[in-house]
Amino acid sequence: MNLQEYAAHDATGLAELVRSGEVTPAELAALASEAVEKVNGTLNGVIEVYDDALDQPAADGELFGGVPFLRKDIGATEQGRLVEMGSRLCEGMIAPRDSFYTQRAKASGLRFLGRTTTSEFGLHGTTETLMCGATRNPWDPERIAGGSSGGAAAMVAAGVVPMAHASDGGGSIRIPACINGLVGLKPSRGRVTAGPAMGHPKLTTELVVSRTVRDTAAALDALAGNQLGEPFDIPEPERRWRGSLEAPTKPLRIAFTTEAPNGAAVDPEVAANIEATAAALEALGHHVEPGAPEYGFERLQDAFGKLFAVVGTGAISILSERFGRPINEDFLEPVTLRWHEVATSLDALTYDDALATCDRIARRMGLFHQEYDLALSPVLTRLPPLLGTQGGTQHHLSHAQSVELVFDLFPFTPAMNLSGQPAISVPTGSSREGLPLAAQFVSRFGEERMLLQVAAQLEEAMPWADRRPEIHAAA
């Protein structure tokens, strides 16, 4: 097998080749390492390929036996491996254990080969850090690759691995999936365990970015489920998610909008793609009409700015003490310091009020879903901006200005982190310049099945598998 053949398969397809004996896990690992060598000098999405990446024992999990996999450098941990979270404050930090996510991923047969870049503590919708530099977009290397799972998405889009670990606290699966032309599902809060290091997952959940709907569904099959001591339980469906893709899909009521909830300007190409997606859904037999949930955007923005500051920077004081490194610009980016200042200034009543806003949004979304099965919207308001215009390295940005930047570019994604609902980004089109355009779908809490079924329908009606960026392992 060569790189062209390797990159033509998704994770499910590669696992089938391993099971049939047509290729070995060691050969796949070598091809993934070769792909990293070919594209990473330009894209800068991989921090580390393990020294023993080619010597690890073959994985034999049923779903993904032997398929190469990369983990984002925040969240899922591997015992004895570095986890630095894009921050100089954490340089050299070694994980004491495999997270539950990692245990399940390895049990499914995924073969961990290294780490991908992330924004510092996952705080930003671009992956540009003082520690690791800028991760570039394989479709246009002058533009952002998205964040905070930008390294993962760039490597999947460039054919290095068929799917990679990703996490989402404000859109960090959906945003880079949109920008890189991938499938990105943010599961319901708690669907994928955050343990053992984290208790209540608050805003964040983990899964993957992938090139196909069937890989995303299979990844959810592998990774979803509770462990002892979980703060709450979500019942699992009778039929596994991969199997549900073949099940008949009833006609759905879908509300769509091309308008940002905060009034931010939406690029005409972005809007046209949502209208084309709505038309495709109508042709598939669904009832589609203009509409959008009403959840009170000003309160949402205020609550998100406070909660995400706590979630993103809450461990800084502990890490500073652990490593004997001061909380200053020698070890933290300027915007991270601003977010940390906000987090440490909040009193208990203010924090509780922000949590109450999450409940309010969830209840309003519940009312919306009494009338509509799905909400359809853009992911970003415009095409991905140039590098150097977003992120945490800009000295002039206050916390408030940073939040404004977030909601100017992707006002559609954070609400689902506050409500806990599942949402998916699907690459349904291309811009005049050939850049990916995407649609976001949101369903009721616990209803990932419906999102995956609709995504599979669109994958067939509006195929994206043959679209490849200019920077690609098979080029």
Those residues with Cβ within 8 angstroms of residue 244's Cβ, 6 or more apart along the chain or in another chain: 217, 237, 449, 452, 453
Measured CA to CA in angstroms, residue 251 lies from 241, 256, 440, 450, 457 at distances of 19, 15, 18, 11, 12
State the sign of the Cα–Cα–Cα–Cα dihedral 68, 72, 75, 78: positive
Residues ≥6 apart with Cβ < 8 Å to 386: 142, 143, 144
- Whole-angstrom distance, CA of residue 173 vs CA of residue 192: 14
Written as six digits, the tokens of 315 are: 């461990």
Q: Which residues, in sequence order, are CB contacts of 293 under 8 Å at separation 6+?
A: 255, 364, 365, 368, 375, 415, 442
Catalytic residue among 33, 38, 72, 244: 72
What sign does the CA torsion over 386, 391, 393, 397 have?
positive
398-402 long-range contacts (CB < 8 A, ≥24 apart) are 398/338, 399/305, 399/309, 399/335, 399/338, 399/339, 399/341, 399/342, 400/305, 402/335, 402/338, 402/339
Spatial distance between the Cα atoms of 81 and 94, rounded to a whole number of angstroms: 5
Catalytic residue among 99, 108, 172, 419: 172
| CA pair distance 151, 469, nearest whole angstrom | 15
How far apart (Å, rounded) are the C-alpha atoms in residues 153 and 156?
5
72 given a catalytic annotation? yes
Q: Where are the beta strands (DSSP E) in 371-459?
A: 374-377, 423-430, 436-442
Catalytic residue of the set 33, 148, 188, 443: 148
Active site residue 106: no
Collapsed DSSP state (helix, strand, coil) of residue 441: strand
**Interatomic CA distance for residues 86 and 304, integer angstroms:** 22
As annotated, the active-site residues are: 72, 148, 172
